[in-house]
Structure 1
Amino acid sequence: MYIKKILLAIALLGLIAGGFFAYYIYQAVFSPNTSFETKTTTVYIPSGATYTELIEIVSPVVKDIYSFDRVARKKGYIDNIKSGRYILSKDLSNNEIVNVLRSKNSPIQISFNNQERLENLAGRIATQIEADSLSLLEEFRDESFLKTNGFTIETALAMYIPNKYEFFWNTSAKQFRERMLKEYNRFWNDSRIKKAKKIGLTQNQVTTIASIVQKETAKVDERPRVAGVYMNRYNNNWKLGADPTVIYALKKHRNDWDIVIKRVLYKDLELDSPYNTYKYATLPPGPIAMPDISSIDAVLNYERHEYYFFVANVENFGYHKFAKTLNQHNRNKKQYIDWINKQGVKR
């Protein structure tokens, strides 16, 4: 009888211990273990991260890192860490957190526009994905890649069509470049290619003129008319005479891309640079900035008219006055010069 009581007590203690153990396991696996108060938080796991690095990353967003560690090890996550951007919801359990980190890499929306050089583009993209600006720039400037795909260092910027794109945060520099090539080829569909051929331009030439149009006017509705002026000049073998190309040439010549030039001086027009369209009748070697889609399409669908000149309209800021003759243009130009002098703009 005494032995039976001992065995019963042992069994009871075993049940209690088992219950506590089961409760502990349940708590460790299925109870909420997040420490943030917002609805969600985002965790970034870099490529090649070790498990020790992962623990450091996860520690600030969980209440009990030790229970997370035990669950992660039991689920085999320690040997299967995946880089990426992961969104954790409030009150997730360790089991749910591991499941998210293992299989729910969340994409992001990347956007870029108005970049002046490949260096600027690389810097812009590096703020949005894991790849750093140096690795991006190296891929952008890869001469073998450029030659294979019909670009040069000067025209390389034309390959990047400004828009919003969905990427994974852990996209590499090379993966980003390859995706942008696909987007470029998708953008230049049969319709756009036919339009470029019809107006006697290559795709790179269209982008180069579009970059000038982009710099000349921020008004989307005016861009086809501005494009028409440059196409009239180009088709008649005139020099384009575009101030933005001179500004670009000055920046390149001085190797100072932060300088702000509000007024082009007559002496600037003498700068010997292939980008100076006051000195050379040829198109610049490549785009002077990244044109957006509206500027590219403005060139492809440029307005047919007889204007060869334009100048800023001081009576309707943001727009321009267009002229067919030099005499008419000089009258419009005098009005602009008088206004800019009154503003005290010297450079």
Structure 2
Amino acid sequence: MHRKFLRFLLAVSIIGLIGVYFIYRNVAGPEILAEGAASVYVEIPHGTSFEELTKLLLHKKLIPNEVVFRKLAQQLNYTGDPVRSGRYAVDPGMKLPDFIERLRSGKQAPVMVILTTERELSDVAKKVARFIEPDAQELLTLFQKQDFLDSLGYTKETLMSLFIPNSYEFYWDTSPRDFIRRMVEEHQKFWKRKDRYLIAERLGLTPAEVYTLASIVEKETLQNDEKERMAGVYYNRLQIGMKLQADPTAVFASRDFTTNRVTNYHLGVDSPYNTYKYKGLPPGPIAMASIASIDAVLYHEQHDYLYFCAKGDGSGYHTFAKTLEAHKQNAEIYRENRRKRGK
């Protein structure tokens, strides 16, 4: 009887050791990703159930053993629906318990939303949707929701002036409203820095008007070192009530964004955005303006120039003039330079 009991204890011990080894081998031992590998990321949409998550992780081959995953998740109290949304990193050498704890705690890996000089709000929505969960249509719908815009003090025409091109850290599951709220915060920070609010006020312009003028400068030249001079031309025209006559506004009014040359067709489009037709600034920006262009307006060069003309020599620079007669001479030089270049 005593020997049978000892055999029983031995058998139980062996089974226990096997169990311990199994747990070590399948839970604590194996790594989801080997050391030295690049981190991978799992994006879990809002409303995802535990079952849907399990299928997702199996599809991505991030569960070494489904049975162990389910049991361990249950032990760690991670089986309720829905699971936490977000973007989560799987680091090299990470063990399954650590990964489940990361999912359970909601410790997300942030994303960088990169805003550049997009043309229209629809382009902004498409760009942002590349980085966060909401799709472009969700974002654009909010961008056009008038009561929401009213609460922010913007219109559909001026909303573009909210966006300052830069890189911003977000969580992947950020909602469209939270995205906009963050942009409002960043906008305010930007204008408070370097006394930009105060400088705009001294110029007799609102931040939205500075941004609108900057968007024109943005589309007129790619050369940052001449933007302050060009902004000065447009500011001088505004001060004397002269039409801005900015080619990019005529292009924007026509929506002919593929054109390489501005023709009489573009100049004749009847739109409040066409500054050949109407005095003053257009109703809103014609593109996202870079920080360089915004500051070029705020710190524009003080001079007497009222005209500028592309040099036509392929440099991308412009020649500036104080009188219409001098401008006409520059225009002739431009045409001659183009002829020499076979343009």
Q: TM-score, normalised by structure 1?
A: 0.92
Equivalent position of 2:328 in the other structure: 330
Report the 3-state secondary structure (helix = DSSP H, G, I; strand = E; otherwise coil) of the residue aligned with 1:278. Answer: coil
CA distance in 2, matches of 1:96, 1:79: 18
CA distance in 1, matches of 2:261, 2:247: 9
Aligned residue type for 1:74: Q
- Greater displacement, 142-151 / 333-342: 333-342
CA distance in 2, matches of 1:84, 1:129: 9
Could you give the per-residue CA deviations for residues 223-280 of structure 1, whole angstroms, max 9, x where no partner exists? 11110000000001000010000000111xxxx6xx4111111343222111111111
Could you give the per-residue CA deviations for residues 279-337 of structure 1, whole angstroms, max 9, x where no partner exists? 11121010000001111111111100011111112346121111111111111111223
Equivalent position of 1:133 in the other structure: 136
Alignment match of 1:116 (pick from 116, 119, 136)? 119
| 2:278 is equivalent to residue 276 of structure 1 | no
Equivalent position of 2:56 in the other structure: 57
- Greater displacement, 58-67 / 179-188: 58-67
| 2:96 is equivalent to residue 97 of structure 1 | no
Report the 3-state secondary structure (helix = DSSP H, G, I; strand = E; otherwise coil) of the residue aligned with 2:279. Answer: coil
List runs of 5+ in structure 1 lacking aligned partners.
none
Q: List aligned pairs for 1:228-243, cutoff 5 A.
A: 228-243=232-247
List runs of 5+ in structure 2 lacking aligned partners.
none
Aligned residue type for 2:319: K
Equivalent position of 1:22 in the other structure: 20
Could you give the per-residue CA deviations for residues 121-154 of structure 1, whole angstroms, max 9, x where no partner exists? 0000001111111111112122122223221111
| 2:201 is equivalent to residue 203 of structure 1 | no
Q: TM-score, normalised by structure 2?
A: 0.93
* Alpha-carbon spacing, 1:143–1:343, altered in 2? closer, same or farther (3 Å): farther
Asked if the contact 1:118–1:140 (Cα under 8 Å) also holds between the matched residues in 2, the reply is yes
Identity over the aligned pairs, expressed in percent?
Answer: 39
Alignment match of 1:294 (pick from 292, 295, 303)? 292
Asked if the contact 1:35–1:63 (Cα under 8 Å) also holds between the matched residues in 2, the reply is no
Q: How many positions carry a matched residue from both structures?
A: 337
Aligned residue type for 2:201: K
CA distance in 2, matches of 1:22, 1:282: 79
Report the 3-state secondary structure (helix = DSSP H, G, I; strand = E; otherwise coil) of the residue aligned with 2:271. Answer: coil
Asked if the contact 2:313–2:334 (Cα under 8 Å) also holds between the matched residues in 1, the reply is no
Asked if the contact 2:33–2:90 (Cα under 8 Å) also holds between the matched residues in 1, the reply is no
| 2:307 is equivalent to residue 304 of structure 1 | no
* Alpha-carbon spacing, 1:93–1:39, altered in 2? closer, same or farther (3 Å): same
Alignment match of 2:6 (pick from 5, 8, 14)? 8
Aligned residue type for 2:99: I
